[in-house]
Each structure stands twice: as C-alpha cells, then as structure tokens.
Amino acid sequence: MSQLVRVQCFCVSRDGFGAGEGQSLERPFGHADPADLASWAGATASWVNRTEPGGTRGLDDYMTRDHQNNIGAEIMGRNKFGPQRGPWENYEWQGWWGDTPPFHTPVFVLTHHPRPSFTLADTTFHFLDATPAEALARAKEAAGGKDVRLGGGVATLRAFLEADLVDTLHIAVAPVDLGRGERLWKSPAELLDRFHLEEIPSPSGITHLLFWRR
C-alpha cells in the first residue's frame, strides 16, 4: 500500500472558512470562536488533546481516532504553527501546543523564513522553504512508510490541492457561518472533478465530508 497524503479533522464553517479574520496570539482563529468549529472533536474519547477519561464513542470518535491512525509525519503552514509573520525576531516561539505537542511524529512547517529544527517531547519541528512537492518528498521519507497528514491551515491545503498532491480529505463542517477569514472553498463541489465525496451528518450537528480520489 502506498503512502497516502491525508487531511483529517480539518474544521470549516458552513460557508467554507477554516479560520476567521485577524489571527493573533490571543485568537489563533481570528474572529472565529474555535469552539464553534472544533468542540465536536473535543467531546470524543479519542481526541488527541483529551487528558481525562470519558468522551463519546460514536461517529465523531471514529473521525478523531483516525486523525493519528497510521500517520508518520505532518506538514503544516506557518500560520498553523504560530501568529508571527515575516522574519523571525527570535526563536522563542515553539508552537501553540506546550511541552508535549499532540503530533508525536516529525512536523514540517512550510515558511519562507526557515529556522533551526527543534524537538519537544516526541515531536520534532522542521522548517522548510519549499514547494508542496519538495516538502512532501521530505515528509514521506520521514514517515517511514506511514501516511502523511496535511494539517492546514487553509492556504497550505489549497496549495497542495492545487498541486494535486492530496489523496483523501476529511473536512468537518460546523453549523456556523463566519462571513470572512481564511476560505477553503465556496462549495465542496469544487473538488468533485477529482474526488469522490460522501456527506455524513453526525448526531453532534457536524457534517463530515469524506473525499477520496477518483
């Protein structure tokens, strides 16, 4: 089985925004309330950031469980890694995730401003000024035969879709409209020329969109 490039548990609003306008340290999702987009995931037993027992084990849990399943590396954009733009003033910022990031694999951060790699617990962050295809080659090598997760944000997903490098996508559509921000699409129909699509409504109110290559 070849290595897949997978998007898992990427949350967007009903009108297609993955983040609101005005990302900052205090508001990683800009004017959007991250709970509106992602609380469905936090409610499940298998969510990577869960620290206490409990949680639901229905459909949404299958989705969060698969987030990590057979993943050997992640690729993310700089705007997922942090709120800074432009050259690094220093290297103090080590991501939003504290001392134990929930990745547990190598993570490749796409940026025009590379900086030295560093390791937190069992996650090592590497910084690449590279095309999607170049970054993917590095990530596949690091993944040791497992799949590569494309972590977002929206600009990174769009760049990889544009380069036709994505095999499967799980997009969770939240029942909220954002109106402005980082937009993944106007409609999921934009991908139907290249992907099969199943639309699965969840009892939680989320709709799971599952895409795979035609």
Residues engaged in binding a second copy (CB under 8 A): 1, 45, 53, 56-59, 62-63, 65-66, 69, 168, 196, 198, 200, 202-203, 208, 210, 212
Number of helices followed by number of strands (H, E) in the chain: 5, 11
> Shortest Cβ distance from residue 196 to a second copy (Å)?
7
Kindly tell me which of 49 and 119 has the beta carbon lying closer to a second copy: 49
Kindly tell me which of 85 and 194 has the beta carbon lying closer to a second copy: 194
> Shortest Cβ distance from residue 48 to a second copy (Å)?
12
Distance CA 93, CA 198 (A): 39
Among 23, 181, 12, CA closest to 96? 23
Record the tokens describing residue 127, joined without a space.
């910084």
Distance CA 89, CA 105 (A): 27
Kindly tell me which of 155 and 173 has the beta carbon lying closer to a second copy: 173
Residues 119-126: contacts with CB within 8 Å, 24+ apart? Answer: 120/94, 120/95, 125/81, 125/94, 125/95
DSSP code string of 88-122: -S-S----SSTTS-S--SEEEEE-SS----EEETT
Kindly tell me which of 49 and 131 has the beta carbon lying closer to a second copy: 49
> Shortest Cβ distance from residue 61 to a second copy (Å)?
8
Kindly tell me which of 51 and 90 has the beta carbon lying closer to a second copy: 51
> Shortest Cβ distance from residue 46 to a second copy (Å)?
9
> Shortest Cβ distance from residue 198 to a second copy (Å)?
4
